[in-house]
Structures are given as C-alpha cells and as structure tokens.
Amino acid sequence: MNSIAADRAKPGAGLFRVRQILDNVEAKPVSTALTWPATLNPAASKRYYFWLVAPAVALLAFISIYPFFWMIYMGLHDVEIGSVVWNDFANFTRLPSDSRYVGGWLLLFQYSAMCLALQIGIGVFLAVALNGLRHEKILVTMLLMPMMIAPLVAGMVWYFLYNGTFGWYHWLLQSVGILGPKSILGSPDTAMLAIVIIDVWQWTPLITLITLAGLKRVPQDQLEANMVDGASPFVNFISVTLPNLYPVLLIAIMLRFMDNFRFIDSALVLTGGGPGNATKILPIYLFEVSFKFFKLGRGAAIALTLLVVTIILGMILAKVFDRLHPKRT
C-alpha cells in the first residue's frame, strides 16, 4: 500500500500519467497539470505522521520508560520515604534465600496452572456445546456477565458466599458432603482452590468466546467430507476441529497467564495471601512488601524480576500473534 503511494507520488510514474503529460505538453507549458497535491508528497507525509505519533509515544514514555529506569534505580537502593541509600545489590542477592519470594513464584505458577487447566477444559467444552445452538447468542451473553464485574466486587461477593456461617456456597458444599465442618478460606488447601474458583468463574467465558470465534473458522467442508467417510463426531473433533483451534487456544492461554500475573484484586480481598502464606502468590507478596511495609527498594527488585518474566511471556505471545496475522506489523 505504501509503496504504491510512493510510486504514485512521483509525477509521471505509470502509463496513464505519461500519456497525460504528452497531451498537455503542447497545449501549455508544464504547469498545474503536473503538480501533484502537496498532501501526497512523501517527505511532508513522513513529518505529518511523525507528529501524530509523537504525543502518544511521549506520554507513554513518561509513564512507562521513565518509571522503568526508576525501578532499576530503586531496586539498587534501600528506599524508605525520605531516604535512598545504596546497598550493594542487597535487594537482589537476598531474593534467592527469601522463602516467601521463591514460594511466591511457585504458588503463582501453581495458581496459574490450576486456573488455566480448569478454564481451558470447561471453556472449550462449553464452546463446543454452545456452537450452533438455537439460542447461542443469548446464552453466550448470559455467560459473559461475570467478565463485566469489577474483580474487587467479585471478590467481595464470593467472600460472602464462602462465609462459614451464612455463605450459600459453604452451605452447598457441606450439604453435598464435599466439605467438612472447616471454613473454606481458613484452611490452606481450600483457600487456594477458593481463589482459583473465582478466577475460573470470572474468566472461563473469555475462553469460551475465543474458542467459539475459532470454531466458526473450522473448515466445514472438511468436517462433512470426513462424516461421509464414516468418521465419528469425536474423531472429527480430534482430527479436524482441535488442530484448527490450536492458534486461538494458544492466544487464550498466554493472555490468561499474563492476566494472572497482572490482576490480584479478588485474591487480595479474599485471602490477602493467607492463611499463613498459603495463597501468597508473588504479586500479592510484592504488594505487601511495597505498600504494606513500604520497603520500596526490595519491592522494586521483586517487581523487576516479575516484569522480566512477563516481558518474555509477551515476546512469545507476539511471536504467536505474528504467525496468525503476518500482515499486521
């Protein structure tokens, strides 16, 4: 598109142009007929486009690159409100021996893995069940309601539901007989499940939506051809549908994985990392260190490691993305 524009911007390029010049040459001296609108002049265009990008990039640099350098600087110092002292990389060197830091990573991966397994399993199944139903549209709309709820509000509602004395969810689990008399958020093993369930409740619909979008692009003729050849729907699903879903599912997994790193709102209200350190996934630990104890230097060091891992994940996502939409970048 751009090369065509550049080509056309040269007066006289292209067959049609040349003929026009010849027609006009005798009639009058080279004049208005030849001037191409200034708006299509490539050099001026470049400047114009540059100034359009500049404000956004400048603002973004101020709120992302500038803080990034501050993060490195803070990570290398003992930062308290009012005093900044160099501390010989102590913030970083003590990380490996900080059991809550290492444990935070493990819990974060455990948490993400549990969330993802449930979300992908349920989400894909729901999408297959929904695909092509008569009331698909309205059912999907009902399904996606939880995604609109503020994570904090979701956390509060589930906090209510999990309550040991008047929570309906607690009552339900006890009535079914799965849960003993213990409180859900009070015991380490169920507390982790509790925050996983909120995430599953809120974000499984996104996986369903993404999978549905993918299902619409599965080549129907291939499915039908297999059917005629006698393949069962199950075989068809495994051999045709699933391979076509891989790219969208990969995107879904990456996005949810990164969101589990990004958002801790509902977990923060529900358990705040407790009981003990049972649900202290790394972002919650980071939040505590930085904004409860205001050890901003240590916080910055932890934040830096978290950020690096997220960016690596992001690079992988971008690779997947490029393969899906080769034209975009």
Partner 1 sequence: MASRDIVQYQAPLSRAFGWFSAVFLALYLVWTLLPILVMFISSFKDLLEAFKIPPVGDWAGVTLFFDFTPTFKHYENLFVNLNFSQYMANSLIAAGGSAAISVILGSMAAYSLSRIDFHGKSDLLFWIISTRMAPVVAVMVPLYWIFRELELVGTLPGLILAYTTFNLPFAIWILKGFFDDVPYAIEEAQMVDGATRFQAFLSILPLVGPGIGAVVVLCILFAWNDYLFAAIIGSGGAKTLSVATRELVQPQNIQWGPIMAAGVVTTLPMMLLGLVIRRYLVAGLTMGAVKE
Interface of this chain with partner 1, residues 53 to 112, rule: CB under 8 A: 53, 55-57, 59-60, 63-64, 66-68, 70-71, 74, 79, 81
- The CA–CA distances, whole Å, from 149 to 123, 198, 200 equal 18, 12, 13
Q: Which range, of 14-22, 98-106, 110-118, 317-325, touches partner 1 by CB under 8 A?
A: 317-325
The DSSP result for 218-235, as a single string, is S-HHHHHHHHHTT--HHH
DSSP state of 65: I
Q: Which is nearer to partner 1, 18 or 26 (CB)?
A: 18
Contacts 24+ apart (CB under 8 A), 44-52: none
Contacting partner 1 within 150-189 (CB under 8 A): 150-154, 156-158, 160-161, 165-168, 171, 174-175
Q: Which is nearer to partner 1, 26 or 37 (CB)?
A: 37
Rounded CA separation 190/296 (Å): 32
Residue 310 in contact with partner 1, rule: CB under 8 A = yes
Reading the block at residue 77, the tokens are 């110092």
How many residues lie near partner 1 (CB under 8 A)?
116
Binding test (CB under 8 A) with partner 1, winner from 111, 112, 253, 283: 283
Rounded CA separation 151/92 (Å): 32
**Is residue 105 within a helix (H) or strand (E), and if so which, with residue range?**
helix 99-130
Residue 5 in contact with partner 1, rule: CB under 8 A = yes
Reading the block at residue 216, the tokens are 């619409």
Q: Which is nearer to partner 1, 26 or 329 (CB)?
A: 329
Q: Which is nearer to partner 1, 26 or 108 (CB)?
A: 108
Q: Which is nearer to partner 1, 2 or 31 (CB)?
A: 2
Residue 324 in contact with partner 1, rule: CB under 8 A = yes
Beta bridge partners of 84: 79
